[in-house]
A = this chain, B = another copy of it.
């Protein structure tokens, strides 16, 4: 399992999440207290939005705690919207192409979780990609593949529905091919305007997701694990939920798998 943190609000130095807090992402890379895998040393990554619609991205394969570039970049760059990730490899070798966040056009995506039996499902899932999205697959992780499928299923127009359809597609495929299915999926993604996060699992053990205020002026942080011990500052998002941070503030919606061919509206806003 991996650890991640994302922010949307007034410009904030990236290090305010990545290296400064008591349980900063770098601290969590050494010792995550609520994660299945206690060390997240298989690389890290940042995606941040600035003067262009596309995000900048920086990824590398060293443990986050020892990378001097990460420390300097996180210290130097101030941005209103960013995603940060430390990786403990489940699927895919330790190489830059397998480090989160993944970026496609103006979208960025990162993920904690996994698809059971992915090695047996991978080939069929890749064949589901159309040529344009197949050509955008650089690594070998389940995470990148789910992101590209979501882009193909319409992420630009209806991000949460597209993501719900990917999960529905994978669960059905696994049932058909393997006879059982389990997708554990806590992810954040953004188009540079809004920031989305999802917490879901086929079973009762969805990877954790928390939200908390950050910064002086109405910003929010979404994290796989709280960054501080101040338990009142962090709200646990229940499994089966999506969080939307936008100019309308923070909203939470129900979230569950959909079938890609479904055409009816996918989500009702819960708040």
Instruction: Report how far A57 CA is from B68 CA in the complex, Å.
Output: 9
Interface segment out of the listed A20-28, A72-80, A155-163, A197-205: A72-80
Inter-chain contact A52/B75, CB cutoff 8 Å: yes
Kindly specify which of A1-9, A134-142, A181-189, A261-269 makes contact with the partner chain. A134-142
**A63 & B77 in contact (Cβ 8 Å cutoff):** no
Within 8 A of B (CB), among A12-71: 13, 30-31, 38-39, 41-42, 48, 50-52, 54-63, 66, 68-69
Residue of B nearest to A51 (CB): B78
**B75-A89 in contact (CB<8A):** no
Of A93-101, A216-224, A229-237, the one touching chain B: A93-101
Known: A57-B76, A61-B66. 7 other contacts (CB 8 A): A30-B39, A39-B39, A41-B63, A48-B76, A50-B78, A58-B69, A95-B97
| For the complex of A and B, 4 pairs with smallest distance between CB atoms | A56-B76, A66-B94, A41-B41, A57-B72
